[in-house]
Structure 1
Amino acid sequence: MTPPQLLSIAVITLMMAAFIWGRFRYDLVGACALLLAVAVGVVPFDHAFSGFSDDIVIIVGSALLVSAGVARTGIMEAAIRRFAPNVRQVRMQLLLLVTIVTVLSAFVKNIGALAIMIPIAFQFARRSKVSASVFLMPMAFGSLLGGLMTQIGTSPNIVVSRVRQELTGESFTMFDFTPVGATLAAVGIVFLVFFYWLVPRRERRDGSINEALDIANYVIEAQVMAGSAVLERPVSELLEMAGGEAVVTSILRAKQRRITPLPDAILREGDVLLIEGSHAALDRIVARARLSITGGRDSGEAESPVAVEGVVASGSPLIGWSAESLALFDRFRVNLLAVSRRGERIGERPSAVRLRLGDVVVLQGSPGKLPGVLRDLGVLPLAERLVLLGSLRRGLPPVLILIVAMVATATGALPVSVAFFAAAVAMVIFRVIPSREVYSAMDGPILVMLATLIPVSDSLRTTGASDVLADWLAMVGHGLPGWGALLLILAVAMAVTPFLNNAATVLVVAPIAAGFAQSLGYRPEAFLMAVAIGAGCDFLTPIGHQSNTLVMGPGGYRFSDYPRLGLPLSALVLLVSVPALILVWPLH
């Protein structure tokens, strides 16, 4: 090996060790690896930042934004109520999620199938009171397995079909991949459902001030309208919509008559409900039950109103006054939507509560005027944390945007990167995602990690280290039986994928595999299929496939978490693939 080749392997080895150690955040590890690769000369200066323009970075960032847009609509809550109203057992929830993602991934881009199901995973997690990390990694792995089933399911299948066309004059067809791919998908789903407990239960930690400002429950006032989903339904059904995370403290009927909110109390049109819970639970219950927040009057502004949490500070003119007595909306054009007081349950309507120092309030108003009003009222915003409570919901546009993007990629009308970037821009244009929330939704650390690692990983190819490793492979494989040679090719493709990306793995390994097969006197089809399977099955790292990267931030995963579930799944794929390939694609 030449010095540049040795240095490239050394940099990647150190990088992997740092990831596994987990002492530093993954974007910092990626940045340091890039600087080291540039310093030792394996990444040229003019290619150091080429990763920031790579399609993978665009795809992951856009998919995160599109997924956040779909999550805001509340349409996933409706889907759960319609198709899986009583699924509460974690294993059954996981079976449903993984199966849907796997099947969808056979026909649309796997990252698109995964993106649309991530909000449902969070809903299931809240319903069953487990961490979303239980669902997200198995779903990502299911999306990879689903891509193995058809020619369009994943890019390695398309590339390997082209390689076969060049070698033999005949390409693989759409469903040539299905017998082996479907077998692996079925076995993989069973494994993921029964061994999900291998996934570490993580909670996303941003390390921000938001963790220290964990606010107690709010009280809001909401009215049952003619079109409410809970009209003439019992209180217990309303509470189910919040997943048990909110309570109705009082029901106000005509002429201010208070009704005890027993579970079997029937809700009538015009009932005013005092509901207590976290802002996330209150947002869900208002959206799903189609209630009207009675404290929210229309200011007539052109901009969509926003709601912000804030603390009543010392010297605030709100102290000792209620929103009602202060005529808050008429004077300041802001609505008081909710109130929280630590250590005390509030039994009054929010508009009637006399505010005290330290009370936490949710104020709604124009995004252009709200900062000034907060200053005038002596309310300190909590780390600018925006809440969805009382915000406008746009259900149809984001779903249509996602469907158009997925159809465009499935039919080949647009590249995946262009389709999802256009979808992300459309989410902002149609105000599905407010412009102030765009960059937080895209998860910057994940994108930086990807962008820095792309040129580092590519140094294996540019220095020729991958060619040297391929030559060693050919030398080792000549003494093996047919099944052993096939297993070796599959294992190598699986091991190389995290560092070359899956399409590049096929381009590098497939010609070697075909020549290797012919030198041993075997037909090349099984070996080419093995390369496609190996390149499509990166279960060991978050960087080999964008689906794995997509769930890393939302799931709160560490780099070292992936092999815990991924290593036994990789071994299972190796064990099942070889006999299945030999059966479907005979070696002789």
Structure 2
Amino acid sequence: MTQDQGLIFAILAVTMGLFLWGRFRHDVVALAALLASTVAGLIAPELAFAGFGHPAVITVACILVLSHGLQRTGAIDAVTRRMLPADAGPMVSMAALLGLGAFLSGFMNNVGAMALLMPVAIQMAGRLSLRPGQVLMPLAFGTILGGMTTLVGTPPNMIVSGFRAEAGLGAFGFFDFAPIGASVAVAGVAAIVLIGWRLVPKRKAAAGDDYETGAYMAELRVPEGSKAVGLTIRGFEREIDVSGAQIVAMIRAKTRVNAPHGGRRIKAGDLLVLEGETDAISKALSVFDVTLDLAKPSESETDASQEDEIVLRELVVQSGAALLDRSAVDIGMRTRFGLNLLALSREGRRPHRRLREITLKPGDLLLVQGPPEAISQFAADMGCLPLGPRDLRLPNPRKAIFAGTIMLGSIALVTLGLLPAAIAFALGVLASMVLRTVPMREVYTAIDWPVVVLLAALIPVAGAMESTGAAALLANFLIGTVAQGNAVVALVLVLVTTMFLSDVMNNAATAAVMCPIALGIASALGVSPDSFLMAVAIGASCAFLTPIGHQNNTLILGPGGFGFGDYWRLGLPLEALIVGLSLPLLLVVWPL
């Protein structure tokens, strides 16, 4: 092993360790890996940021903009209303929802498809008297499966195509992923609809007409004259015992007592931290005349907003949101947006800080109070999704037709081989701006910049693996030690390894790391690299065991009431099915 090879292996090991740790955002870790490789002399300084011009990165950014146009104009809403049954049973409803989600994910960003259908899934769960998670997890997995079917369905497919082009074999075509991807998606969706949704852990009671979102933490101020004054903690909880709420902390004179003794008496001015559903919090407010501890607006704010309609909305925090690792105070929720954070739900962990000081994480649920327009602006700017009827977007039928035509036109240009994907979809973005399906001010905000930076930073690092010979060294080790020179065993090894890595780190990062290794294995064995590259594409898209492998899994963490270990019950059988189905298909469609 040369010094350069040792350096790149060390940088990759630290990078993967940081991905697994989760303390820092994936794009920050990827940028650190890029700079470390450049400083170490493994990447030429003039090529360090060449990844930002890589066709795969440009295509991903453009697809995000076009997907935003489909959402904003209401084009997908119209399709959803026409294709989803209003009164069918669980299996038919689930099949229609997952089928639509998988189809949409093949032609737009799969996180966008999931965001569009989440409120529909929650309403469906209520209509069918199912737990929300029983619909949300199948939908998340269905949209991930759908992304495997086309070039633009998911970033790993575009990365794999880019590596094939750089290897001198040309890029994959738009539907080259379909023979295996569509077969796996159809089989996976069918398995989920027939059996899989029953394997989802049932974490909450049936939703009925409303939907469950896990226990919230709310801070209740006890004023003078409240019925709660003089009661013990135990007596307070007894009054609302039916709701299942409990007091998890008490703050008195700026001193917080966690799990206060049941015999401790409540005094005026105390702040009670209550854990419970929204109904329980409402009951506590009405029974004891306590109040939510809210930030007080300035006089000018009060004058400006006193005539506005004040509503409550539940929002889920997305991966890569602008408010991640920041608190309500940090982002100026009250001063900037005129909103109050009433409660926060984070499944599996109990916050031990003041509500407005808690740093927010992906999957958190926020109960927000304020004017609908302000909540809509906050959600758009900060990267949150509303749970419930999406009354914050005004459909425009004329622009919806334009948005759909632009997307279909871009796809046609790629499919017919008239233009490369990056150019075709960039033309689509230009057309979107000209026709105003995406307003100028929203073009850049529609792009998930952490994903773009992640891809752009890791592509040169992956190139360094090839240029230093590290990829070939690792490939030869795997072939000689594990696969014993057997190409089929090596193919299984690549597929399963990629699938495992995708479960514990970002799927795009997994594809960027595994592509050079796959190419090295194919070269060492003297076989076609296409089956190995396709194995990477499939494995990188199959992140079903954890909430961190894919953004769609993270989105349902709070709304479904899931814990970290809840995904494998459905995810593990699904991954086993995919391995068993995709391996023979790889050997037939892309023979060695």
TM-score, normalised by the number of residues in structure 1: 0.53
Question: Partner letter of residue 421 of structure 1?
Answer: A
Q: 1:411 aligns with which of 399, 413, 416?
A: 416
For the residues of structure 2 that align with 1:93 and 1:111, how far apart are their CA atoms?
22
User: 1:190 & 1:80 partners in 2: Cα distance?
Assistant: 20
Q: Does the alignment pair 1:529 with 2:538?
A: no
Q: Cα offset for 1:418?
A: 2.1
* CA RMSD between the two structures: 5.4
**Structure 1 Cα separation of the partners of residues 70 and 60 of structure 2:** 15
Counterpart residue number, 1:44: 44
AA aligned to 2:29 is V
Would the aligned equivalents of 1:101 and 1:142 in 2 still touch at CA under 8 Å? no
Measure how far apart 1:467 and its partner are. 0.9
Contact residue 43 and residue 460 of structure 2 kept, 8 A: yes
Write the mapping of 1:132-143 to structure 2, written as runs, cut at 5 A.
Answer: 134=137, 137-143=140-146
Alignment of 1:155-234 (within 5 A): 183-193=183-193, 194-195=195-196
For 2:98 and 2:516, the matched residues in 1 are separated by 30
Worse-matched range after superposition: 14-23 or 192-201: 192-201
| 1:246-288 CA-partner distances (Å, limit 9, x unpaired) | xxxxxxxxxxxxxxxxxxxxxxxxxxxxxxxxxxxxxxxxxxx
Partner of 1:2: 2
Residue matched to 1:15 = 15
- The verdict on how the C-alpha distance between 1:481 and 1:405 changes in structure 2, with shifts beyond 3 A counting, is closer
What is the CA-CA distance between 1:468 and the residue it aligns to? Answer: 0.8
Instruction: Report the 3-state secondary structure (helix = DSSP H, G, I; strand = E; otherwise coil) of the residue aligned with 1:95.
Output: helix
CA distance in 2, matches of 1:459, 1:561: 35
Q: Would you say 1:513 and 2:522 are equivalent positions?
A: yes
8 Å contact 2:61–2:448 — kept in the other structure?
yes
1:558-573 matches, within 5 Å, as 564=568, 569-573=574-578
User: Residues 66-120 of structure 1, C-alpha deviation per residue, up to 9 Å, x if partnerless?
Assistant: 2222112233333232221326877655533543465678xxxx45374774454
User: C-alpha displacement at 1:433, in angstroms?
Assistant: 2.8
| Structure 1, unaligned runs of 5 or more | 167-171, 202-210, 213-310, 323-337, 343-358, 362-379, 519-523, 543-547
User: In structure 2, do the counterparts of structure 1 residues 84 and 496 end up closer, same or farther at CA, with 3 Å as the change threshold?
Assistant: closer
1:475 maps to which residue?
A: 480
Per the TM alignment, residue 513 of structure 1 is displaced from its structure 2 partner at its CA by 3.3
1:189 Cα deviation from its structure 2 partner: 2.5
Distance 1:59 1:174 in 2: 12
Aligned-pair CA distance for 1:465? 0.6
1:124 paired to 2:120: yes
User: Structure 2 residue aligned with 1:400, among 405, 428, 447?
Assistant: 405
Is the CA contact 1:461–1:467 (under 8 Å) kept in the aligned structure 2?
yes
* Local SS of the residue matching 1:537: helix
- The one-letter amino acid of 1:134's match is M
The question of whether the paired residues in 1 share the 8 Å contact of 2:146 and 2:182 is answered with: no
CA distance in 1, matches of 2:91, 2:458: 35
State the identity %. Answer: 26
Structure 2, unaligned runs of 5 or more: 126-131, 204-216, 219-295, 313-336, 340-372, 381-390
Per-residue deviation at 1:63? Answer: 2.0
Residues 160, 533 of structure 2: 8 Å contact kept: no
Q: CA deviation at 1:466?
A: 0.5
Q: How far is the alpha carbon of 1:471 from its aligned partner?
A: 1.8
CA distance in 2, matches of 1:401, 1:164: 31
Higher Cα Rg: structure 1 or 2?
1
Deviation at 1:31, TM superposition (A): 2.8
Q: 1:474 to 1:146 in 2, by over 3 A?
A: same
Alignment of 1:384-533 (within 5 A): 385=378, 393=396, 394-476=399-481, 479=484, 484=489, 487-488=492-493, 490-491=495-496, 509=518, 512-513=521-522, 516=525, 529=531, 531-533=533-535
CA distance in 1, matches of 2:453, 2:202: 24
Conservation of the 8 A alpha-carbon contact between 1:159 and 1:503? no
Against the structure 1 CA distance between its residues 164 and 503, is the aligned structure 2 distance closer, same or farther, given a 3 Å change threshold?
same
Tell me: CA distance 1:5–1:489, structure 2 relative to 1, closer, same or farther (3 Å).
Answer: same
TM-score in terms of structure 2 length: 0.53
User: Within 1, Cα distance between the matches of 2:474 and 2:566?
Assistant: 25
Deviations 1:398-436 (A, max 9, x none): 122222122222222222222222323333332233333
Aligned ranges for residues 272-287 of structure 1 at < 5 Å?
Answer: none
Counterpart-to-counterpart distance in 2, 1:321 and 1:582: 67
Distance 1:399 1:116, change over 3 A: farther
